[in-house]
Amino acid sequence: MTSPAQPLRHRVEEWVEQIHDQLVGALERLDGSGTFERDRWQRPGGGGGVTAILSDGALFEQAGVNRSAVWGEFGDAALARLGGTDREFYATGVSLVLHPRSPMVPTIHANFRYFERGSDAWFGGGSDLTPYYPYESDARHFHSTWKRACDAHDTLYYPRFKKWCDEYFFLPHRGEMRGVGGIFFDELRGDLEATFAFVRDCGAAFMPSYEPIARRRRDERHGEQERAFQLYRRGRYVEFNLLYDRGTSFGLATNGRTESILMSLPPLARWQYGWAPAPDSREEAALRFFQPRDWAR
């Protein structure tokens, strides 16, 4: 690890590289057969990153783990879209989205990022779980893991960030949550060293939050009906990422690398006009399941 005497951005960037490599290795072991292909890229205007993609694995139909460190100045269009007057920026972070092959295994997203704009600096991040079929024990495990990570730093973090996540990962045009939430935080300022310690612990909590769920569900039986429902719900995932996701908006506004920005999208999805679940079906129960609840009690 770099010396604390070095600028915070350098230490965060080094951690981003480390956690990226750790997650890629852990997810390859979890998948059991697939390997990530690393695509190194440079951003015109400053910086670059590595996008690691696993396709057609035993567990993951597609998994992406992206890291980047980019800098430069906002153009007029980006400034109009993002607001404010400071043009100079620096951003580094790691993000991942895992789309399992089986509809019984949830999709999951996480990202952890550090941002500087002019003299201002802050951290953001979080993780949310998007199951296709309802398993209360999975949602409770996921939320309890993140609550422990939050409580180790501030007992007010989890209730605040859980509520923020429920509100953020919501599709207003559908009146639906994307999944069962998790934690979400942004623009955390103040004691940046203490916040960096929290963010590092969040990075360490990701695999414990997800791996037991994936191992528990990966071999459960399913058929064409469950696969069709998975693809239908993936359509909601696409809608959220393209319409509301801040990371997608920021990346496109700052001339980021489109392939890396859109690596969060699933390889397959479907839309069906006027679809409704059959009464008393597992699909109907699943749609009722995606509501804000006190999962960690």
Coil, strand or helix at 14: helix
Q: Tokens for 266?
A: 């699933």
> pTM score, two decimals?
0.93
pLDDT at 276 over 80: yes
Q: Which of 43-47, 191-195, 280-284 has the lowest mean pLDDT?
A: 43-47
Is residue 53 within 8 A of residue 41, CB to CB? The reply is no
pLDDT for the residue 3: 52
User: Residue 267 domain-assigned?
Assistant: yes
Per-residue confidence band for 79, with pLDDT thresholds at 50, 70 and 90: low
pLDDT at 78 exceeding the cut of 80: no
Does residue 3 sit within a domain?
A: no
Query: Hey, is 163 helix, strand or coil?
Result: helix
**Cβ neighbourhood burial of 140 (10 Å; 0-12, 13-18, 19+):** middle
Residue 43 is part of a domain; what is its CATH number?
3.40.1500.10
d(CA 157, CA 159): 6
Q: How confident is the model at residue 86 (pLDDT cuts 50, 70, 90)?
A: confident
- For the annotated catalytic residues, the residue numbers are 109
Residue 89 near residue 72, CB atoms below 8 Å: yes
Task: Tell me how far apart the alpha carbons of residues 176 and 184 are, in angstroms, rounded to a whole number.
Answer: 17
In a domain, 40, yes or no: yes
* 274 belongs to a structural domain: yes
Query: Does 297 map to a domain?
Result: no
